[in-house]
Amino acid sequence: MTEDIRTAGDEQDAETVRELAWRSKSVGLAALDTDDAEFMHHWRSDPIAAHHLGIWPRSLAAVRERIERDTEDDDRDDFLILSPNGTPVGYVALTGQNMIDGTAEVELMLAAEHRGHGHATAALDAVVDLAFGELPMYRLTAETHTDNATALAVLARSGFTQEGISRAACLHRGRRHDLAVFSLLRPEWEELNRPRAWDA
């Protein structure tokens, strides 16, 4: 599924045409490119995102190098999330893909100024539909801090089940944090009563 969309963001001076790799009713997913490093750098520098994701700010050059390295990794698919008007609003990925076992992990990060508009749930649903509808995945997992109420709610809305807690699994800002561990299985996805991405 490919489709072109014009994107214009605050960090870009001119409109560019982006080819969508996947879409849902309210967001499009474009393959992450090294030209998106400024977006990623800006979003990773947000203190709230850094706290909830357990990350720290990196230089723009380091973020660009990371994107270049990840592009060569066959076990992951990274996407820029685009709003209906083409504005980049976040990032979503399927990482650690194991085609034999049919497993992968989901990562998601939304720009601070675009939170609270349903983009996170739409993007998560879209990448889940990609994993189960186009790829041979059987089990998806996701982790987040146990105090990240927004992420916990998004995962639950998208059909994920909390399996447990990895105690003190993340060190951030000098403190140990518990991680909530979520999963979604193919049969559970099949029972979800919502439109699929390809119905958009």
DSSP string, 137-200: --EEEEEEETT-HHHHHHHHHTT-EEEEEEEEEEEETTEEEEEEEEEEEHHHHHT--S--GGG-
Is the per-residue pLDDT at 9 higher than 60? no
| For residues 13-41, average pLDDT | 82
Note the pLDDT tens digit of each residue in 56-70: 677 888 888 888 888
DSSP string, 17-83: EEEEEEE-SS-EEEE--GGGHHHHHHHHT-HHHHHHHT-----HHHHHHHHHHHHT-TT-EEEEEE-
Note the pLDDT tens digit of each residue in 152-187: 999 999 999 999 999 999 887 788 889 999 999 999
Q: Give domain 3-199's CATH number out of 3.30.460.10, 3.40.630.30, 1.10.10.60, 3.60.120.10.
A: 3.40.630.30
Note the pLDDT tens digit of each residue in 37-94: 888 888 777 766 666 666 667 788 888 888 888 888 889 999 999 998 889 999 999 9
Specify the pLDDT at position 52. Answer: 62
Give the confidence band of 23 by pLDDT, cuts at 50, 70, 90. Answer: confident
